[in-house]
A and B are shown apart, each in its own frame.
Chain A
Amino acid sequence: MTAGTSDLAIAMRGIGKRFPGVVALADVTLEVGRGELRAICGENGAGKSTLMKILSGVYQPDDGTLEVDGAAVAFTGTRDAERAGIAIIHQELALVEDLSVAANVFLGRERRTAAGLIDDRTMEAECRRLLALLECQVDPQARTGSLRVGDQQLVEIAKALSLDARILVMDEPTSALTETESARLERIIARLRDRGTTILYISHKMDEVFRLADRITVLRDGRHVQTVDRSATTPAAVTGWMVGREIAGHEFHRAAARGPRLLEIRDLTLPWPAHPRGYRLANVSLDLHAGEILGIAGLMGAGRTELLETIFGAGEPTWTGSMRLRDAAVRFTHPAEACAAGIAMVTEDRKRLGLFPDLDVAANVSLCSLREATRGGLLDRGREEALVAGPIRDTGVKTPGPHAAITGLSGGNQQKCIIGRWLLTKPAILLLDDPTRGIDVGAKAELYQLIDRLCREGLGVILTSSELPELLTLADRIIVLAEGRLTAEFSRAEATEQKIVHAATGG
């Protein structure tokens, strides 16, 4: 690094950040020159968002130092970062949908008239000027919630401009945009850079990164891997750095005893009325056999969860196409029906969609098969304990007792309880939606063994994961979704991380 300190807009050195049980960032150094457009690449969970949240004052780092324009800073909140000229546009937009566009742009910094009243006219005029700069035809008085996602994003950018931000952080800004919207955003980004704004751009999409960036930084597993000039590298090299870890040591060699076909899905299409793309899933077809693990790869928003929810009868009932379970056409309108037909689903967000914090361990496990624990219509405590003892032992839950609080268990043990809950329903098909998210490495290995064993016992498993090595370790076949479409299918032998990332980024 030859540039003198004074030419650096941002200097983050030796940054470390730990969350309970996870090291999110370790010794990451990031130096960005003034007016530079830096792309930051990495897989889900690589630490990109955490690093940006530290830069914008959302999190405080545990180790390391932060300099902005050559001066050391320590942000205690986003306000501090804004004052230093840093604005961030999060992946999930932070707009108040019921307020007007102008009100959102000036939220918390409202302009006032001499009498101290809110000065809507000035704010709207200023907002119109900013939006014009962004090629955005939106009326400043419009209700923000009525805007398309692409326009909402521009409102966020207008907000950043109104702050006179010299440093702009964008976290996967095009993930929800159509192609025309993305093209417009690229033009705007180029213009901002020409005005001298320093931009940090987080993206999965190699084509965008290579069109826009001056330099590219790759993070992996919370560590800095590479920082290179765009002209000195290729998309294949960057993808290689992103995924380049050793594949976890355990390989499962199942006897390839593929059983009869359990599930057949043809041309499943799930409309998305209020969205420019028009669909969440388009023409997805797949087969699942007994004794097989089918992996589903895809980026966030590719439609993995929607696909599983549709199969399970938990999503929007508006889908078209055909679904056959053991050669009989089915269409579930409530999870209870799917459950009765022998399908089980372990949901993606354990805390929000799976766990009952007020119920104890036994009640969490027995919930779906409680009727087996009754005697004469009343629950029998002894029977319930006997019922849950099996799955608690089989899945290897470590708990002080069946009546311990579920919230006292570790994430991995909670997840085993939920899998145990579903095993009690004796399913033929198990849908696992990112089952190891937020679980530590040791518990992950135990879950892999459990999933592998269940499969060998004849269960058909569909597994999604945001971590490719997991899919490569476990799955017999992998299908790849990109923006709601099935873009590739690989057998275990064919699949590599590069091929999957290529198919998942639509490239």
Chain B
Amino acid sequence: MPEPSAQPKATVLLRSGEWALLAAILIAVVLTALVDANHSYWFRPLESLRDIARNTALLGIFALGATVVIIAGGIDLSAGSMIALSGTVAAATMVALAPAAMLGFKPVGPTIVAVACLASLLVGFLVGTLHAWLITAVRLPPFIATLATLVGLRSFARALCESTTAAFTPTKSAMINVSDPLFKAVRDNVWIPVAVFGLLAFATWLILTRTVLGRHVHALGGNEQAARLAGIRTDNVKWFAYCFGAMTAALAGLFYVANESVAAPVNQGRGHELNAIAAAVVGGCSLTGGVGTVPGTVLGAIFLRVVIDAVSKIIKTGADVYEGLIVGIVVVIAVTFSQVGQLAKGGRRLLSGPLGLCAIPTLALLCGAVVAMTATGAAGLASGLAALVFLAVVRAWESRGGRAPRPS
């Protein structure tokens, strides 16, 4: 029997999917520079770079946490709420320790800022511990456990904000202004979040690829039962993964407070958990666990932010409305492309049967509507019709081989 060829593909610095992602980032940048009517990438490159760098660093910090959790075979839906809670805990700590300075928009001093930041990270550790306990001891599925904290933590943060302000200041408030010069400095110096992101990415890469713990994270996500039977304390590895996830979100929460000069638990970080998961998945993480890299996630985060920035440059006004739509489309396209090999090999059909028939107008309508809203109605109609014709041709081409094989 001939031995199957199992020689690993040569990896030069990055894996092939990651090189493709890098190319996609460059293409998106060049296209934006060309299409943007203001040509801001040409005329104000530093300003654009600063924007993208800041947004990427903030997203990337907790996307690294999501990466570790996903490689370990779990999921953490609570990152956005953890961001809100972390910011609120830091701000509430400062209000409690220096109410007068906080009310008067005066500096509270480095010691109190340090205590506030440590309190946030500690809360991150506690939330991670709670997740790990719910998942390993109570045996909740990770999706359920972190769905509960997704809704629960934000509510908890709002309550904390209101009761702290009620106790230490004259009026109850739903947000706390943070104007200490240390936070301002972080806001004004983009290199700080970028440097923190860079260091954290390096540390995460080191843990995942060069430590026993990291190997155990991969083993746990790849085959949990086998990992346990190999004598790995899988519960402890999960504990690490969920704490890492929650603490990176807590760290990001501090940067959001600095960026916006306010801790606003009502909507700070809302929905961001999905951006983090999207960055990890675009970067090559598999939601079934065991697969993923730090360089992939870093590139995934950059790609998402570059595309979002491109849309805002091209559409100009009200671009934030389209942010979710863009993230959704990018995730579908990126993951579909990573499966192109399988699609071709397995002879899988995208548009067969009655479901495929109904998918054609659905996709054409989506395409037309998006174009109509962002450009003109006529362009929308034209592109919708073009999509309809294109998809119908794809369907006809796919069904040329006769009846689809029975799925086994």
Q: Do chains A and B stick together as partners?
A: yes
A residues touching B (Cβ–Cβ < 8 Å)?
21, 76-77, 312, 314, 334-336, 338-340, 345, 347, 352-360, 363, 367-368, 370-371, 374, 377-379, 398-401, 403-405, 407-410, 421, 440
Q: Give 28 pairs: A residue, B residue, CB < 8 Å, sorted on A.
A: A21-B1, A76-B406, A334-B228, A335-B230, A345-B229, A347-B229, A352-B223, A352-B225, A353-B223, A356-B226, A357-B223, A360-B8, A363-B215, A367-B219, A370-B215, A374-B211, A374-B212, A378-B206, A378-B210, A379-B212, A400-B5, A400-B6, A404-B7, A404-B8, A408-B6, A409-B6, A410-B3, A421-B230
- Known contacts A352-B223, A378-B206; 11 additional CB pairs below 8 A are A334-B231, A335-B230, A345-B229, A352-B225, A356-B223, A370-B212, A379-B211, A379-B215, A401-B7, A403-B8, A405-B6
Contact A356 B233 (CB under 8 A): no
Q: Which of A336, A354, A374, A398 contacts B232 (CB 8 A)?
A: A336
Contact B215 A367 (CB under 8 A): yes
| A356 vs B227: C-alpha distance when bound (angstroms) | 8
Using Cβ atoms and an 8 Å threshold, which residues of chain A touch B225? 352-353
Q: How far is the CB of A504 from chain B (nearest CB, A)?
A: 26
Interface status of B253 (Cβ within 8 A of chain A): no
Interface string of B1-30 (1 = CB under 8 A from A): 101111110000000000000000000000
Interface string of B282-298 (1 = CB under 8 A from A): 00000000110000000
Q: How far is the CB of A125 from chain B (nearest CB, A)?
A: 34
Interface size range of chain B in the complex: 20 to 34
Interface status of B361 (Cβ within 8 A of chain A): no
B residues touching A (Cβ–Cβ < 8 Å)?
1, 3-8, 206, 209-212, 214-215, 218-219, 221-223, 225-233, 290-291, 406
Q: How far is the CB of B341 from chain A (nearest CB, A)?
A: 15
Q: Top 6 nearest A-B pairs by Cβ distance?
A: A408-B6, A339-B231, A358-B290, A404-B6, A358-B222, A336-B231
Q: Which of A339, A354, A371, A399 contacts B226 (CB 8 A)?
A: A354
Using Cβ atoms and an 8 Å threshold, which residues of chain B touch A404? 6-8
| B292 and chain A: residue at smallest CB distance | A358
Contact A355 B223 (CB under 8 A): yes
Count CB-based A-B contacts (< 8 Å): 102
| A357 vs B222: C-alpha distance when bound (angstroms) | 7
Q: How far is the CB of B8 from chain A (nearest CB, A)?
A: 5
Q: How far is the CB of A407 from chain B (nearest CB, A)?
A: 8
Using Cβ atoms and an 8 Å threshold, which residues of chain B touch A370? 212, 215
Contact B229 A358 (CB under 8 A): no
| A358 vs B215: C-alpha distance when bound (angstroms) | 11
| A370 vs B218: C-alpha distance when bound (angstroms) | 13
Contact B229 A353 (CB under 8 A): yes
Using Cβ atoms and an 8 Å threshold, which residues of chain A touch B214? 379
Q: How far is the CB of A310 from chain B (nearest CB, A)?
A: 13
Q: How far is the CB of A355 from chain B (nearest CB, A)?
A: 7
Contact B219 A398 (CB under 8 A): no
Given that A76-B406, A377-B211, A379-B212 are contacting pairs, would A335 and B228 also be in contact in the complex, using a CB cutoff of 8 Å? yes
| A171 vs B107: C-alpha distance when bound (angstroms) | 79
Q: Which of A354, A371, A401 contacts B229 (CB 8 A)?
A: A354
Contact B219 A359 (CB under 8 A): yes
| A409 vs B3: C-alpha distance when bound (angstroms) | 7
